[in-house]
């Protein structure tokens, strides 16, 4: 908590977002954490963020303790947090993962929290990441680019300068490139 307060008191935190006509036009300038010039309101925001940061840690710990105290033979609810907590433990009746006969260790709280954040904000599987991987693969293997272009050209004609949704379903090679890049 002291670290959080120290960051908030640094002179760089006193510099708020610069004036933006676009933000002012839609009513966002001067509001929220990034643009609030009312320093008295910062105390409330500060307390809110401190609580938000520590409540999640308390909730994870409380749920883990609840699961650990539960008998093995009792069926648990199947929410994401519970699934991550019990993964690769004696309470994981569905899928204990092993590699070459060695059992994976259960995740620690920090790993669980990171997985939850990834799931909620699509951190690893976002469209941007997939597009980057596709671009990388095409640049690394120029023959892929030619195959993609050839496949698209087989569906086009002089009378039609665009593809329709039915045409997109026929692009099997393009689909395989996308699926491979998004793995």
Q: In this predicted structure, what is the pLDDT of residue 168?
A: 86
Q: In this predicted structure, what is the pLDDT of residue 146?
A: 93
Distance (Å, rounded) from C-alpha 174 to C-alpha 155? Answer: 13
Q: Which residues contact 138 (CB under 8 A, 6 or more apart)?
A: 144, 145, 148, 177
Closest CA to 65 of 40, 83, 85, 43: 85
Q: In this predicted structure, what is the pLDDT of residue 12?
A: 44
Q: In this predicted structure, what is the pLDDT of residue 13?
A: 45
Q: In this predicted structure, what is the pLDDT of residue 66?
A: 84
Q: Which letter, b or e, does each residue of 117-147 get, where b requires 16 or more Cβ atoms within 10 Å of its Cβ?
A: eeeeeeeeeeeeeeeebbeeebeeeeebeee
- State the Cα angle at 27 between 21 and 32, rounded to 5°: 105
Distance (Å, rounded) from C-alpha 173 to C-alpha 155? Answer: 13
Q: In this predicted structure, what is the pLDDT of residue 7?
A: 46
Q: Which residues contact 89 (CB under 8 A, 6 or more apart)?
A: 106
pTM: 0.35
Q: Which residues contact 17 (CB under 8 A, 6 or more apart)?
A: 23, 29, 34, 35
Longest dimension (CA), the chain: 70
Reading phi first (left if > 0) and then psi (alpha if -120 to 50, else beta), residue 101 is in left
pLDDT in tens, the chain (183 residues): 444 444 444 444 444 556 667 666 766 666 555 555 555 655 656 666 566 556 566 666 777 888 888 887 787 777 777 888 887 777 776 666 666 667 777 888 788 877 777 776 665 556 777 888 888 888 888 899 999 999 998 988 878 778 888 888 899 999 999 888 876
Closest CA to 120 of 65, 92, 81, 94: 81
Q: In this predicted structure, what is the pLDDT of residue 87?
A: 79
Q: What share of the chain is helix, strand, coil (3-state, %, to 5)?
A: 65, 5, 35
């Amino acid at each position: 908590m002291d670290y959080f307060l120290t960051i908030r008191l640094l002179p760089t935190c006193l510099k708020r977002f610069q004036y933006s006509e676009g933000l002012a036009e839609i009513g966002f300038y001067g509001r929220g954490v990034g643009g609030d010039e009312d320093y008295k309101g910062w105390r409330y925001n500060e307390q809110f963020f401190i609580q938000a940061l520590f409540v999640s840690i308390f909730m994870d710990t409380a749920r883990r303790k609840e699961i650990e105290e539960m008998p093995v033979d009792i069926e648990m609810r199947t929410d994401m947090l519970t699934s991550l907590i019990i993964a690769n433990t004696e309470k994981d009746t569905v899928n204990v993962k092993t590699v070459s006969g060695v059992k994976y260790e259960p995740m620690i709280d920090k790993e669980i929290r990171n997985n939850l954040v990834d799931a909620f904000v699509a951190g690893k599987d976002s469209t941007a990441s997939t597009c980057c991987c596709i671009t990388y693969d095409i640049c690394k293997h120029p023959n892929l680019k030619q195959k993609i272009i050839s496949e698209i050209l087989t569906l086009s004609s002089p009378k039609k300068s665009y593809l329709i949704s039915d045409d997109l379903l026929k692009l099997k090679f393009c689909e395989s490139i996308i699926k491979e890049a998004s793995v």
